[in-house]
Structure 1
Amino acid sequence: GGPRLLYALQNSHGFASVSTVLRKQPIPRLLPSIGTPERKEIDSNISSFFAPEIKLAPSYPGCSEPPGNTLMVDGVAIEPKCRFCYRRNAILGLCREHAKHVNTQVNSVESVDLVRSALAETDKDSGTRVCFGTDATVVAVAPFCNEEHYTAIPIVVSPTDKTESAEDFVKWLRVVLEAWKEHPEGEALHGPIWRIASDGDSIFRLAKFILCMTQEI
């Protein structure tokens, strides 16, 4: 797959080249979180994936407001290693639970060495220890009733070592909900969040309870 397959199809069947595809059809890029997901990262991803030129707003004949969406949360396995984010000149791949212990900006060889040393730290109680993310928490938005554009769209991807508490998880999940509600290309164009869905992970279940069971009906 990828560019090599497209190159082969270009020569065999006259398909458009990679440069032509990129020029004519912008491909949105998901901005991973360096540490705990931040509002600016979430806003950037909503802008990238839900802009009108990328994803059409749902049509809802007979309704005065857009239909709602499901906020989907799940974990996916990732390769535990560091990567370089050229857009932010920063190191990716550290778990969000400990990334705050180091400076993830690539300012010099010494700054990279400090991260390497923190990864090699064996004392789990050390205030400088960091570790790789082994899973990535993915948060996506999927429409309830939109047959034309039904695909779930990610707005957060954040590495974790799975030691995060439900209370800490809820803190940044509230930021996600707030960002969707206030972003001009979020709820205003594509409808509100009606439901939060996840798998059977115990942290996700407790987080949903904390977040949703707050008022007596």
Structure 2
Amino acid sequence: MDDELALHVVVADDQALVRTGFRLILESEGIEVVAEAEDGEQAVAAVRRTRPDVVLMDIRMPGLDGLEATRRILDGSAQEPPRVVMLTTFDLDQYVYAALAAGASGFLLKDVTPEHLAAAVRLVRTGDALLAPAITRRLVERFARTGGDTPGAAAPHRELATLTRRELEVTALLARGLSNAELAARLGLSEATVKTHVARILGKLGLRDRAQVVVAAYETGLVSVGSAHS
């Protein structure tokens, strides 16, 4: 595989069977698992040692949990930190919201299909976020009210005032879990134009990806709890 296309992953989970299963699935798709970790401490060390593109991070692990490990990995000390995808058994795990606020790029259920797992890793590597609309609505709406009390929650972004009316509109729709294609259809724009708007929004707000846009939109009140269904 061309070096530019090579994809390196760290799998962190306290269950050996989960790690082995994910490794077999990813490597069968040409994705290299450069390290495994059974707790947060090992995950942080593995990331610093191997500098992967993506980390699949279990939330609940003994000792240092996945949430704190994610904070340490994304603490700003690395020039090009990896994308972190949280692994959860339940799609309404309360810690997922905190993980998104801490900088994680999305989440996957542990019963993800092999095809979806490989596709998700490739997707998040490109800078997109793993935010299925239905799950995102339930997840963020359930925990947005307590975001300020959740460890790792992001502070409100005053930079929202720098967004144009169209960019605010795009931000609100992003927070509702719409994909680029859905945004384009809703706004009557091309997907290329939507991507340009998203890139400008990320730049103005100083955010890494769409996952953080969702958090910022709810925490600043741009999108209120319950309004995501409109």
Which band: TM-score by shorter chain?
Answer: under 0.3
What TM-score comes out, normalization by structure 1 length?
Answer: 0.25
What TM-score comes out, normalization by structure 2 length?
Answer: 0.24
Greater share of residues in strand:
1
Q: Which has the higher contact order (CA 8 A, sep 6+)?
A: 1
Greater share of residues in helix:
2
Of structures 1 and 2, the larger Rg is shown by: 1
